A and B are shown apart, each in its own frame.
Chain A
């Protein structure tokens, strides 16, 4: 049995607003020192899968730099290892990836060269710890052509997922993409698929205007249910899609609780990542910390409460950071307060700034469906002038300079530099 894992990391993740201005969603930092893709990558290597392709497209530089040659995950190998597959031009249909299935279809050559008999298709933007071997065993035992991982979701949420209806043997009988009716069951697809290689290739090559095979959920899977053996594998572990600002913020902060459902301390399931080579966390005499995660390289000279800090964050004396996520190397100036805010990397928050104040939870005017739960988002490399006040649901796009701020008070719902 030879398995090749293909991780879909090409998407834009636009619901994360400014956090995906300059990077693909799997490259977004998570839990301080990690990046979202570390979970899927670590799942692969911890499951003994060392043949891993990462399909990139949208703003891949940050992701590519993070992956490098794959050493932190033991994927720098002579045979197998990690390969970054970016769209390229060629004589046939080589082009930008049009969808999940299309991305795989454009890399059939790669799959053939690995001589894998099994293809494990994964998403690069989910947070979960999963030993794929259990699902692979199930796939082989049932001799399935395709096995989909599913998990139970609350009935009220079934309209957000691809819902499977299965029989008693867990064979999939029906598939409903985001169904409005609530009688289809509660088994949602996790975006984890195991294919027999030849069946996968055959189905992908059926692509035509009449029988499109661009997307797995919309095209390939529904076309396979009637004629191929499609099985569902139930996963009951922790799994979160951190694709929205609210779920990203919640999932990170949940890790500051005493016994979070996501266990980062399991020595048998280490989440590997590229080390930043920073000194240990420094808490100065005036530093105060409560219920937070702090990464190496942080220097805390103010107060940090219920927050998650990435490496190299500097909190000046008198500053207060609360209910927030601060990414790498951001500098919080003296006396500034940061409340219910996500601040991206390399941001300078001027002294005395008040980031997140008041109860006006007006949704962001520019992106009301994406930024509406009272969280501010500040993109990378911004400079927030001293004394600036930001309300709620404020969005500051990446790279905003001091001169971009028309006023020192930015009311709730405003955006600086809308993209």
Chain B
């Protein structure tokens, strides 16, 4: 059965604040050297699916640069391979894609070209390891029109997912998108396998259906189509909120993390950083970290994830934080529970994440409220500045914008 994978990487996610202000969520760095889309891409090629369309829309540049022709994932192929699908104009085709189903509808010609029997819809913003072949085999065995990948979720989080109810044969009876309350705890992963014909016909017949979870699936269930659920038990990290993203990175520091990155049979491919090995200075103190090639630690790094090119000067301390590519941390600076985006320069003797005032961020209280401090890309933080908790520093903020020596918890600097 020939399968075409479509990775949905077009959405914006305001829940990640400045991290997704400058890039698509799928392009967000993860685990130091990876980007989130590496998981979906690697799962495809490791599952021997070599025809992969990546549907982009929102801030796609760094994602496109990262994927290139697909070489790290062995997707640079004469037949099939990876294709970047950005919205376009044409006769009868106007405006931007308005949802996951809408995006697929507008790329149906690409789907038809691939002549696949099944279309595998994946989220480009999920961190997980999955051999798709098992789900595809199941889809075939039960002769499903569509198979929904499901997993158990935290009962307190059901309002964030599409909740699925099934009968004893795993036939889906009900699909509720983000219910305010639900007794069920099994959720859709946003991974669907469609019979290509079924998908094509439905999207053509119902042009008002824009979203798979909200429109297409409930309709198919109601119409009595063969909708089945496939239970997934493997590693899955939710990275859709700042706290979840931070936690998923920190979880990699456990002695035996749930995500095994050392499995030679399931490599998470990514382009090489082309950087020298990690350099730890003579007076450095490194304890419980993930450090990427090209990082130089002369100071203290504890329980943190460092991407490549990060420099921590002697006398600086980084703790419980995620520091992305090429950031430079000056001597005497302390960073605690922070996420620092790329290319940010922090002067000496600063303190990022000080105090224990956990008042939520005043501008985005529902997005930033667990005590993290988030600094956007290419920021310049001058020496001596103290920044509290739940603070956001917008990307490209220069040192001149820091008028006060102290930025209290909950503030935003732009």
Q: How far is the CA of A288 from the CA of B305 in the complex (A)?
A: 16
Q: How far is the CA of A215 from the CA of B284 in the complex (A)?
A: 49
How near does chain B come to A304, taking the closest CB pair, in angstroms? Answer: 8
Q: How far is the CA of A264 from the CA of B306 in the complex (A)?
A: 19
Q: How far is the CA of A131 from the CA of B32 in the complex (A)?
A: 33
With A294-B277, A296-B293 in contact, is A280–B282 under 8 Å at CB? no
Q: How far is the CA of A284 from the CA of B275 in the complex (A)?
A: 23
Output the residue of B277, B291, B292, B305 with the most chain A CB within 10 A.
B277
Q: Quick one: CB contact mask for A269-298 with B, threshold 8 Å, 1 for yes?
A: 011110101011111110111111111110
On whether the beta carbons of A275 and B272 are closer than 8 Å, the reply is yes
Which A residues are CB-close (under 8 A) to B280?
A: 289-294, 304
Q: Residue B33 at the A interface, CB < 8 A?
A: yes
Q: Residue B278 at the A interface, CB < 8 A?
A: yes
Tell me the nearest residue of chain A to B311, going by C-beta.
A265
Q: Residue B281 at the A interface, CB < 8 A?
A: yes
On whether the beta carbons of A289 and B277 are closer than 8 Å, the reply is no
On whether the beta carbons of A290 and B278 are closer than 8 Å, the reply is no
Q: Residue B286 at the A interface, CB < 8 A?
A: yes
How near does chain B come to A372, taking the closest CB pair, in angstroms? Answer: 28
Q: Residue A258 at the B interface, CB < 8 A?
A: yes
Interface magnitude class on chain B: 35 or more
Which A residues are CB-close (under 8 A) to B289?
A: 281-283
How near does chain A come to B373, taking the closest CB pair, in angstroms? Answer: 23
How near does chain B come to A30, taking the closest CB pair, in angstroms? Answer: 11
Q: How far is the CA of A129 from the CA of B294 in the complex (A)?
A: 18
Q: How far is the CA of A281 from the CA of B33 in the complex (A)?
A: 10
On whether the beta carbons of A290 and B291 are closer than 8 Å, the reply is no
Q: Residue B65 at the A interface, CB < 8 A?
A: no
On whether the beta carbons of A285 and B288 are closer than 8 Å, the reply is yes
Is chain A's binding surface mostly helix, strand, loop or mixed? Answer: loop
**B window 29-69: CB within 8 A of A:** 31-33
Q: How far is the CA of A299 from the CA of B288 in the complex (A)?
A: 10
With A280-B32, A281-B292, A284-B288 in contact, is A295–B267 under 8 Å at CB? no
How near does chain A come to B256, taking the closest CB pair, in angstroms? Answer: 10
Q: Residue A398 at the B interface, CB < 8 A?
A: no
Which A residues are CB-close (under 8 A) to B262?
A: 279, 297, 299
On whether the beta carbons of B282 and A291 are closer than 8 Å, the reply is yes
Name the contact of A283 in the complex, choosing from B31, B267, B274, B287 (C-beta under 8 A).
B287
Output the residue of A258, A295, A308 with the most chain B CB within 10 A.
A258
Q: Residue A31 at the B interface, CB < 8 A?
A: yes
How near does chain B come to A296, taking the closest CB pair, in angstroms? Answer: 5
Q: How far is the CA of A265 from the CA of B294 in the complex (A)?
A: 8
**A window 50-69: CB within 8 A of B:** none
Q: Residue B261 at the A interface, CB < 8 A?
A: yes
Which B residues are CB-close (under 8 A) to A292?
A: 279-280
Q: Residue A353 at the B interface, CB < 8 A?
A: no
Tell me the nearest residue of chain B to A299, going by C-beta.
B262
Q: Residue B186 at the A interface, CB < 8 A?
A: no
Which B residues are CB-close (under 8 A) to A283?
A: 286-291
On whether the beta carbons of A296 and B33 are closer than 8 Å, the reply is yes
Tell me the nearest residue of chain A to B267, going by C-beta.
A277
**A window 34-89: CB within 8 A of B:** 72
On whether the beta carbons of A293 and B274 are closer than 8 Å, the reply is no
Output the residue of A31, A275, A279, A309 with the most chain B CB within 10 A.
A279
Which A residues are CB-close (under 8 A) to B276?
A: 31-33, 264-265, 271, 293
Contacts A280-B291, A285-B288 known; 8 new A-B pairs at CB < 8 A:
A31-B276, A264-B276, A279-B290, A281-B293, A287-B286, A291-B284, A295-B277, A296-B278
4 residue pairs, one from A and one from B, having the closest CB atoms: A275-B272, A279-B261, A32-B277, A264-B276
Could you list 17 A-B pairs, sorted by A, with CB under 8 Å?
A: A256-B282, A258-B298, A272-B274, A275-B274, A280-B290, A280-B305, A282-B289, A283-B286, A283-B287, A283-B291, A285-B287, A288-B285, A290-B282, A291-B282, A293-B279, A297-B262, A306-B282
